[in-house]
Amino acid sequence: MSQAPSPPSRPTGRRWPLLLLILGIAGLLAWGGHYLATGTAANQAAKSPFARGGFRGGGPGGPASPVGAASAVRGDIHVVLNGLGTVTPLRTVTVSAQVAGQLQSVEFREGQHVRKGDVLAQIDPRSFQAALAQAQGNLARDQAQLGNARLDLARFQTLFKQDSISRQQLDTQAALVHQYQGAIEADQGAVEVAKVNLGYTRVLAPAEGRVGLRQVDPGNNVGNGSAIVVITQMQPMDVLFTIPEDSLPALRAKLRTGAALAVEAWDRAGTARLATGSLASIDNQIDTSTGTVKVKAEFGNDDERLFPNQFVNVKLMLDTLHDATVIPASALQRGANGLFVYVIGDDDRVSVRNVKTGVSEGDRVQVIDGLRPGERVVTDGSDRLRDGSKVTVPTMPGGGAASSLVDTMPSPAADAASGRRNGGHRRGNWGSGARDGGWSHSRKRDDASGSDRGDGG
């Protein structure tokens, strides 16, 4: 019979200290990781602006939150129609050769401003001079023959009265006179054609404007229709743009009053005004694919800031609303009940107020209902607010309420100078516009020493 296997041996007493040591090390590592993670989170929370009070607040019972503010004012606001336009010259002319020949010379510089009638190029005129001389010679010959035929007709008329010739001879001579008269008229036409062709050898500018790059060099043979250069009229200049069809009734109603509507052309970025002109005309139909209608404005373009085919932003001044209540567009907030603003009360607490807006012009918005002139509204920092929150409005260095919290922050050079004066530690308040870690903290004045020290810092 086989012997039964012996049961596994239990760990001896000498192995227990090793197991306890391993478990102790593992526990120590776990506790150390937890301590480091907790300490890092606490340090980050302590360094966070929320912990110092920069972002803190928003609750009715919390500390005051710094915000930017502006007052609702009464003023004029323009009703503006915005559109995208293209600068279109009144006239673009391709100057071409009207006779065939060798191009002898080009009399313009590329990019030159030319006037109507200026000589642009010269084509070899010798063959056309010869054709003119030939036409003039034919005219002189036929004129001499006509004179002789008229003398013969006068003699035949005398002889016919004396019954010396027949009626047929007299009629034949009269027909010969008419024949020579027709030949002279044909010769005169040939002379005029030769003169015109000879004049075409001098290529003249058909319009005033700026010439582009020449399209043919001297020495080449050109034919009738060969392009030489393009002239673009620069003054005045048109801008063709589009507006929504919904704005067409108001625009037409304004035009029926005979008012001259001002139009401004701005650059592609919309930061620089290029020219100011007036509305010229409206297209006679709406583009069904885009729901827009084409509108043309005319600009004097004396400084030539508008260039052909340039893309511009167009602002059409449709009307001006006087004595309107206006606030910055940054004060508007959108909620479940529509647009609202945070109104700052006399106790420096905010209240939510629903408003109804009208037209907007840039960063200014008309308020039709819900706000009175003189009331203050929050323009920056509203993301930390609730109804009833306590707020404080920083002041600018020159005095006056700051409308944006960014405006209260000094430049990096000012930060560096402030850091050097305070031993490398920046401190300040919203009134002075200084920052600490990106946001301000409250300061306490030590009356005895006259120095500043930060709370908890």
Over residues 342-349, mean pLDDT: 90
Helix (H, G, I), strand (E, B) or coil at 375: coil
Lowest mean pLDDT among 207-211, 218-222, 317-321: 317-321
Q: What CA dihedral angle connects 65, 66, 72 and 77, to 10 degrees?
A: -130
What's the chain's Rg over C-alpha atoms?
Answer: 46
Tokens encoding 363: 């960063």
**What domains are there in the chain, each with its CATH number?**
81-90+233-319 (2.40.30.170), 93-231 (2.40.50.100)
Measured CA to CA, the distance from residue 453 to residue 440 in angstroms comes to 13
Percent of the chain with pLDDT over 70: 77
pTM over 0.85: no
Tokens encoding 173: 């001579």
Measured CA to CA, the distance from residue 363 to residue 340 in angstroms comes to 16
Question: With contact defined as beta carbons under 8 Å apart, do 273 and 265 qualify?
Answer: yes
Residue 24 pairs in a beta bridge with none
Residue 310, pLDDT > 50, answer yes
**Longest pairwise C-alpha distance within the chain:** 183
More confident position, 396 or 298: 298
- pLDDT, tens digit, 9 for 90 and up, residues 328-337: 999 999 988 8
Taking the mean position of all CA atoms in its chain, how far away is CA 383?
A: 32
Residue 406, pLDDT > 90, answer no
- pLDDT, tens digit, 9 for 90 and up, residues 373-399: 999 999 988 888 888 889 888 877 766
Q: What CA dihedral angle connects 160, 166, 168 and 172, to 10 degrees?
A: -50
H-helix or E-strand spanning residue 203? strand 202-204
Residue 440, pLDDT > 60, answer no
Distances (CA, A) of 229 to 110, 186, 211, 212, 314: 9, 35, 7, 6, 31
Q: Give the pairing of strands 68-71 and 292-299.
A: unpaired
DSSP states along 138-170: HHHHHHHHHHHHHHHHHHHHHHHHTT-S-HHHH
- pLDDT, tens digit, 9 for 90 and up, residues 278-291: 999 999 999 999 99
Question: With contact defined as beta carbons under 8 Å apart, do 121 and 228 qualify?
Answer: yes
Measured CA to CA, the distance from residue 41 to residue 424 in angstroms comes to 25
Quote the pLDDT of residue 31: 77
